[in-house]
Amino acid sequence: MEQDASLPAETASARPWWSDGSNAIPTLAVLYALAYIMYRGGGGGEDLIGRIIAHLLFLPLNLATAVLAWRASRWAGVDARTRRALRLMTAAFACVLAGNAVSFYLGMVLNGDPGASWTNIFYFPFYPLILLGLLAFPLTRREQHEHRKFMFDAAVVLLASGLAIWYLVVRPTVVTEQLTPMGSAIALAYPLGDLLVLLGLTTFLLRRPRESRGGSRAILVAGFIVYCLCDLANDLVVFKLGWAGLNWTDLTYLVAYCLLILALSRFEWPREALAAADNAAAVTTQPFSPLPYAAILMDCVLVLFVAHRQWSEPLAVLSVGTLGAMLIVVFRQVAAVQENAELISERATRQVEARFRALVQHSSDVIMIVNDAGVITYMSPSVEQILGYAPDAMTGKSLDGFLDEACGAAASHLIASAAAQPGVTAPAEWRMRHRAGHWLHVEIVGTNLLHEPTVRGIVLNARNINERKVLEAQLVHQAFHDPLTGLANRVLFLDRVSHALTMVRRHDQMLAVLFVDLDGFKTINDSLGHLAGDRLLVTVSQRLLTCVRDSDTVARLGGDEFALLIEDSTDNDAATVVAERVAAAVRHPIQLDGREVFMTASIGIATACGEGTGSDLLRNADVAMYVAKAGGKARYEHFAEEMHGKALERLELQGELRRALDRGGEFTLLYQPIVELQTGEVTGVEALVRWLHPERGTLSPAQFIPLAEETGLIVPLGRWVVREACRQAQLWQGGTERSLTLTVNVSGYQLQHEGVVDDVRDALADSGLDPRHLVLEITESVLMQENEMILKRLRALKDLGVRLAIDDFGTGYSSLGYLQRFPIDILKIDKAFVDDIGSTGAEPALVRAIIALGETLRLQTIAEGIELQQQWDGLHRLGCQMGQGYLFARPVSVAEIGTLLDEGSADGHGVSLPVRHAKTASESAA
């Protein structure tokens, strides 16, 4: 911006009113106009002095207007275009000043005609200069449709104004007979000049910046409008009234000059408007303007006025002109409707583009455009977050440079496929190099937009799937590995066995599968807790890995079951070596919670030369393991074909046992007497269950009780045995003075069931049997666990009033401390110890120690499996109180035991019982 050379920029914007005249000059102008009006209105001005004053009236105002316009053009902060406009206005008012000065000189000095035609040459430049000045102001650019609207609006204003000027000024002037042809031409020139000024004002009002409304600009426009109206009316007034007196046009001229002086004395143009106008790219929408509609309204009022006066010819002209103006307005409205439709479409397009731009810029996916040669032509900003590159760093480069070698061919194929056909390609997975150097997995989908003018390429959407790939790897690992030990699980193990069998068939080799089951693992869980059991499993799994080669596979199948796949095995000896190595590794002490734990393993071995499936091989090893466990545990067995038949038989027997319990009536109880060794008197019976199988015949407990314990069927079976035995014992004692003790075996699995105490209580209550007559017999192995839950339930049973006995005492390996901890009443000496009595002529020391221990702890002792007289005699001499065995009676039915109870008696040399002829130890007492 240019500044006034005589005034520094820092002071130009802070002038006091007395220095720049922003308030004083407009005030003086108003006072000057009021003084003139009062002077002329008071009757003055008819003499010479009045004539001089009348001719000099506008000269000071002309001078002030020109000076203020020039001064405003030199103020600091005024831009070049505004300065140019103000200087053009300065020239325009200087022309008017020159014309008035010449008129004064001719009229007052030379006594000539002040209205001579040649003097108008000073006035005529005023109009084009004002037009150029108004057009020189900073104006906003319009879009094409806005420009059309402006042209329509300007045409309406000019046409309506032209009609009014023609009717009100030109027509009366032309028809006046006082004017010469030259005078008429001069009179017509002034309305045309006013039309030029109105054109400039219309343009200025319609295209001024939004920020330039109001203030000095509005006053300036008002001043020019009043000036034009006065200029148009002045000739008619002069024609009618002459130059003498005070005309109303003089008053309006004074008002116009006062407005112009006020506007130019404080003229300003906001910097925001300048910036908007200076910006060539700034395209704005034309604001609503009432000018066209006001012009139409004016013509309509004029038509009504003329029609009322019944002027025929002028009415026709005005009607045609008004209709033309209205047609222009109609065209303008049609253009506006079309413009609105275009604007709506353009706005929708811009919204879509803005939405698309926002989606692309903020998308978590990378959007790239490549040509059919694989060169990147566009890259979305999100690439910096995902791959670390700036978009410009990848644009213009080949896509292959950011892919690994394996994905380069796949990328070329995808781009070729996308270019060959329209639509979206199938997703593909690539590995792209991150700026930091590592690789990322991305999923790519291509879309062919080569035909789209705004794209002309293949759009590739790349999504970071690195986390998904890591998660997939974790899920695959979890799906094929044990979460606790990290070993392969059953699914992976079987898959590797199947692959190994395929290789074995091709190369005529052998492989082996070892099925490993930990002995007594449940005891660890019950005594030390499941966390300790988990640590034991982890330790065992690590030891198993040391027993095999890296090429072999170790798996955890579940619980305490493990499996080993030994590939490239030459013969059974290789699998045996591994089994012995596993057994030794498991036997090594394990530290758990500050104590040493000793474990053993039962191992089944199955080998194959390619026949069968992986499941068959694993099943065979499992069967061999069960054989090893049934054979005494802590050992290994090789699979034999007959084992499979026994396993199938065991499975069938399991289903038949379940159906037998559901049907009922297939189980019965046999009873074996328990006699007092001193007198031979029968003091009790032991209830022994038998299964009356409809096809297999009578099955002993050894054939189905272990199966019932494994399947959990021991609980309902044991419940039935207790209830039936109590009922029968109460029948034997009912109505007699006989005090008969009933002994019932209780499995360790029953004691783990929380309802065992309730089952015994209900059986006693339903039968009416005195609890003192019931003895519950448990094996020593149950007490060896020293489980708090077992101890709690034994005490609860003791609280019912029943007595507890230990079966097979002396065969366990734990300390005897549990005899004081558990509420035991009876010790039953195992048959294995009784068999040695009388065979060597001396009583075994272990039997003597057990009987002595019972006397010390005040526990009753009962010897089992007495089959010979010398065994009875020896036990009697050692102080054993009670005994049972084939010497006295076999297990018999309910009817037979009743006969024995009624007829049985003893003397000093034997027992007079119907059944007492078994003499060999080879017959077992079930």
Model confidence over 353-408: pLDDT tens digits?
677 666 666 666 788 888 888 888 888 888 888 888 888 888 888 888 888 877 87
pLDDT category, 677, cuts 50, 70, 90?
very high
Lowest-confidence region among 12-16, 639-643, 812-816, 834-838: 12-16
Residues in a beta bridge with 826: 805, 860
Q: Inform me whether the pLDDT recorded for 185 exceeds 70.
A: yes
Tens-digit pLDDT profile for residues 569-587 = 666 678 899 999 999 999 9
Q: Which residues are CB-contacts of 464 (< 8 A; sequence separation ≥ 6)?
A: 364, 365, 366, 386, 440, 441, 442
Q: Inform me whether the pLDDT recorded for 740 exceeds 80.
A: yes
Q: What type of residue sits at position 679? A: T
Q: What type of residue sits at position 390? A: A
Q: Inform me whether the pLDDT recorded for 889 exceeds 80.
A: yes
60-75 burial code (b ≥16 CB/10 A, e <16) = ebbbbbbbbbbbbbbb
Q: What is the pLDDT of residue 763?
A: 94
Tens-digit pLDDT profile for residues 52-97 = 776 677 788 888 888 888 888 887 667 788 888 888 888 888 888 8
Q: Inform me whether the pLDDT recorded for 350 exceeds 90.
A: no
**What long-range pairs does 164-172 form, CB within 8 A, spacing at least 24?**
164/298, 164/299, 164/302, 165/191, 165/194, 165/195, 165/232, 166/191, 166/317, 167/302, 167/306, 167/314, 167/317, 167/318, 168/232, 168/236, 169/232, 169/233, 169/235, 169/236, 171/314, 172/236
pLDDT category, 315, cuts 50, 70, 90?
low
Q: What is the pLDDT of residue 6?
A: 37
Can you read off the two tokens belonging to residue 603? 């191992």
Q: Is 809 in a helix, a strand, or coil?
A: strand
DSSP assignments along 339-403, one per residue: HHHHHHHHHHHHHHHHHHHHHHHH-SSEEEEE-TTSBEEEE-TTHHHHT---HHHHTTSBGGGGB
Q: Inform me whether the pLDDT recorded for 176 exceeds 70.
A: no
Burial class (CB in 10 A: 0-12, 13-18, 19+), 123: buried
Mean pLDDT, residues 589-595: 86
pLDDT category, 777, cuts 50, 70, 90?
very high
Q: Which of 511, 603, 510, 506 is nearest to 562 (CA)?
A: 603
How far apart are alpha carbons 114 and 121 in whole angstroms?
A: 13
Mean pLDDT, residues 637-657: 80
Please measure the distance between the N-terminal and C-terminal CA atoms of the chain and give it in whole angstroms.
124
Location of structure tokens 């095999």: 548
Tens-digit pLDDT profile for residues 812-842 = 554 566 777 788 899 998 888 888 887 665 5
Q: What is the pLDDT of residue 11?
A: 37
Q: What is the pLDDT of residue 797?
A: 92
Tens-digit pLDDT profile for residues 513-524 = 999 999 888 878
Can you read off the two tokens belonging to residue 757? 């105490």
Q: Inform me whether the pLDDT recorded for 915 exceeds 60.
A: no
677-689 burial code (b ≥16 CB/10 A, e <16) = beebebebbbbbb
How far apart are alpha carbons 233 and 227 in whole angstroms?
A: 10
Beta-carbon count within 10 A of 297 CB: 12
Q: What share of the chain is helix, strand, coil (3-state, %, to 5)?
A: 55, 15, 25
Q: What is the pLDDT of residue 914?
A: 44
Mean pLDDT (the chain, rounded): 78
Of the chain, the percentage scoring pLDDT greater than 70 comes to 74
Residues in a beta bridge with 569: 510
Mean pLDDT, residues 632-640: 87
Question: Who wins on pLDDT, 337 or 412?
Answer: 412
Strand pairing category for 439-449 and 457-464: antiparallel
Can you read off the two tokens belonging to residue 882? 């009670």
Answer whether 825's CB lies under 8 Å from 860's CB: yes
Q: Which of 805, 773, 778 is nearest to 718 (CA)?
A: 778
Furthest CA-CA distance within the chain: 190
pLDDT category, 236, cuts 50, 70, 90?
low
How far apart are alpha carbons 44 and 212 in whole angstroms?
A: 44
Answer whether 136's CB lies under 8 Å from 85's CB: yes
Q: Which residues are CB-contacts of 484 (< 8 A; sequence separation ≥ 6)?
A: 534, 537, 538, 556
Q: What is the pLDDT of residue 484?
A: 92
pLDDT category, 2, cuts 50, 70, 90?
very low
